Every structure is written in C-alpha cells, then in structure tokens.
C-alpha cells in the first residue's frame, strides 16, 4: 500500500518505520521531526496525503487533527482511508470522520495503548471506531503496528474506549498509591501489602503489573526513578478528555473528576511533569491529610 503518515513524533516515527519494514511505501510529513529511515519525506501534509491509499495521522490533539484533516481530506483519493491514531476528544474524532465520509473517504479513529515501547516493538493495542469496510482496510496495518485491534463500533468509539480505559487507569493508580502511603503509616511492610493485595480483591493492573512501589512486583518505572513510562502529563491529558466527554453527555464521573484534579495539581504545582504517572506514590508519601 501507499501510505501517507502525518505526525512523526515519539509514537508516529516507530509506527511508520514498522510499516516500511513490512514492505509498505510510506511518505511522511512532520512540522518538526525528521522521517525515520525508509520513510520518504513529503514537503507538506497535503503532499503526503495526495495519491495515498491510506493516510495515518499521529498528532498531539484534536485542534491540530481538525486543522490537518481540513487540509488533507480535499486532496485524498476517492475511496482512500483516513486512519487517525492520535488521542483526541470524541467530538473532534466524530467531526473529522463526518467530513471524511462526506468527501467519499473511509475513516477510522484508532487511538492506541502501549506507549513508545509498544510503538517500537509493534505491540500496540488499537481501539477502533468506524464502518466495517474502513476497519477491514486498516486492520492489516494495525496487525503490523500492534498485537491487537478491537473494533469498538462507529466513528468516535475508539476514542470513547481509550478515555474510559484511561479514566479507570488514572483513578486506580491514585487508589493504589494512596493505599501504599496509608500502609506505610500503619507500619505495614510494602512487600506484604503487595503479596496480599495482588492476590486479593484489591488487585489491579496498576498493582500487579505496574506496581508504583520500587523493588516490589514486576519491573516498572518505579524501579527506574519514576522516569516514564507513561508520563503524568499524558495521563492528565487523557483524564481531561474523559471529563470533557462526560460533560458533553451529562455523565456523572466523580472518581474521574477527582483523578483529574489530583493529576492537575501534581503536574502543574507539585513537580510531577516529566515523571511517570506512578510517581503519585512519592507524592502521597510526603503529604498528610490536608
Ligand atoms: P509527539 O509530540 O512526540 O508527536 C506529535 C508529532 O506531531 C510531533 O512530532 C509534532 O511535530 C507533529 N505535529 C504537530 N502538528 C503537526 C502538523 N500540523 N503537521 C504535521 N505534524 C505535526 O507525541 P507522541 O508521544 O508521538 O503522541 C502522539 C499521540 O499519541 C498523542 O495524541 C498522544 O496522546 C497519543 N499517545 C501517546 C502515547 C505515548 O506514550 N507517547 C501513548 C498512547 C497515545
């Protein structure tokens, strides 16, 4: 396939490189970063999209996605497929999909889970929204860049799945960290806490697979001085998207709202920016109840 790839940052660059390694012709464009080896460089987003069978975008946010989409949708070939893998608000995903469908394109919103490591290793999980026909075109590419792709329903549902998952993740990480900090103050050994919780009803991915306490459980960013991993500011971005979506549909999400508040202060006032999102544990260690 001839693939246009727009947004070659931390995630897009290794994803594009994996498509090249699988034998696809990839024409890339980024405002700032260089193309990875094997990806031909286009002079603009429009040039990367023109004549492509599939265009993939991997951009920072919904406003940028909307701007890029407005440029490229008019020049994409009739019947081509627009796959957006960025994490953006559900409204932007649906607006871009509507414009693309109106222009005779197939479209999939397909945010990912798995981070930079998953992008490099080709083990991402894709959560996809769009028609069956569009998903069928994109699926072989998801299989190259990832290990699993779930078709979640119509346009926007990929983003919906992503923010619901990450709202659970943010709230659960906070619950796990505050419980460790409480256990410390109660004189409970962290290893004992892990041994109990990881095999009891309090278990979770954050406890069992990504334990925020150093030297406990499997290797995690806590064992690497809380270097990300999944940075706190990216967690905050996704939590904010979840609350934006909850407001739009009048959903009551008090845990998501509190998690958003805590990550906002952590990132903006408490030095959490640039640390892994599990660095909430040292933050709780330092604090009392007020
Ligand atoms: P990044 O900032 O490294 O990459 C984004 C790239 O888009 C940058 O290179 C930037 O120059 C480029 N860009 C911005 N505006 C552009 C434009 N108008 N035209 C062309 N290029 C433009 O970000 P990233 O970490 O690669 O993340 C990309 C997306 O994936 C985000 O939506 C993020 O939330 C999501 N995501 C990231 C991770 C992660 O661990 N990094 C994990 C899951 C999902």
Best residue for ligand 1 mutational test, from 17, 58, 71 (most atoms within 8 Å of Cβ) = 58
| CA-to-CA separations, 283 to 59, 85, 198, 277, in angstroms, rounded | 30, 32, 22, 11
Residue 187 has pLDDT above 90, yes or no: yes
Summarised one tens digit per residue, pLDDT across range 41-76 is: 999 999 999 999 999 999 999 999 999 999 999 999
Contact 221, 229 (CB under 8 A): yes
- Residue 109 is predicted with a pLDDT of 98
Q: Is residue 254 over pLDDT 90?
A: yes
Q: How far apart are CA 103 and CA 24, in angstroms?
A: 25
Give yes or no for a cis peptide into 229 (omega within 30° of 0). yes
State the average pLDDT over residues 72-96. 97
Give me the pLDDT at residue 283, please: 97
| 116-141 residue pLDDT tens | 889 999 999 999 999 999 999 999 99
Q: Give the CA distances from residue 260 to residues 175, 232, 242, 255, 257, in Å, rounded to whole numbers and listed in that order.
A: 13, 11, 9, 8, 5
Q: Is 237 one of the annotated active-site residues of the chain?
A: no
Average pLDDT value for residue range 204-226? 97
Q: Which residues line ligand 1 (CB under 6 A)?
A: 6-12, 29-33, 45, 58-60, 64, 68, 86-87, 112, 115-116, 230, 234, 237
- pLDDT at position 290, please? 80
Q: Which of 5, 8, 10, 109 to mutate to test the pocket of ligand 1 (most atoms within 8 A of CB)?
A: 10
Rounded Cα distance between 232 and 17, Å, is 27
Q: Give 277 Cα–ligand 1 centroid separation in angstroms.
A: 18
């Amino acid at each position: 396939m001839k693939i246009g790839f727009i947004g070659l940052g931390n995630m897009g660059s290794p994803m594009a490189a994996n498509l090249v390694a699988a034998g696809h012709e990839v024409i890339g464009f980024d405002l700032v970063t260089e193309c990875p080896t094997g990806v031909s460089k286009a002079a603009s987003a429009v040039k990367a999209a023109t004549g492509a069978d599939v265009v993939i975008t991997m951009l920072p946010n919904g406003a940028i996605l909307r701007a890029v989409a407005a440029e490229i949708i008019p020049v994409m070939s009739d019947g081509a497929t627009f796959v957006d893998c960025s994490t953006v608000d559900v409204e932007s995903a649906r607006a871009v999909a509507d414009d693309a469908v109106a222009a005779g394109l197939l479209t999939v919103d397909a945010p990912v889970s798995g981070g930079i490591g998953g992008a490099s290793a080709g083990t991402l999980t894709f959560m996809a929204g769009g028609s069956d026909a569009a998903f069928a075109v994109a699926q072989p590419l998801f299989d190259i860049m990832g290990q699993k792709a779930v078709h979640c329903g119509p346009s926007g549902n990929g983003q919906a799945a992503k923010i619901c998952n990450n709202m659970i993740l943010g709230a659960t990480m906070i619950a796990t960290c505050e419980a460790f900090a409480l256990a410390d103050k109660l004189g409970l050994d962290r290893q004992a806490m892990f041994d109990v919780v990881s095999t009891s009803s309090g278990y979770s991915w954050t406890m069992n697979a990504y334990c925020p306490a150093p030297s406990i459980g499997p290797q995690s960013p806590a064992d690497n001085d809380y270097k990300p991993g999944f940075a706190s500011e990216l967690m905050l971005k996704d939590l904010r998207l979840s609350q934006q979506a909850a407001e739009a549909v009048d959903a009551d999400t008090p845990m998501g709202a509190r998690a958003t508040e805590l990550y906002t202060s952590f990132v903006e006032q408490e030095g959490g920016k640039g640390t892994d999102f599990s660095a909430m544990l040292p933050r709780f260690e330092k604090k009392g109840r007020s």
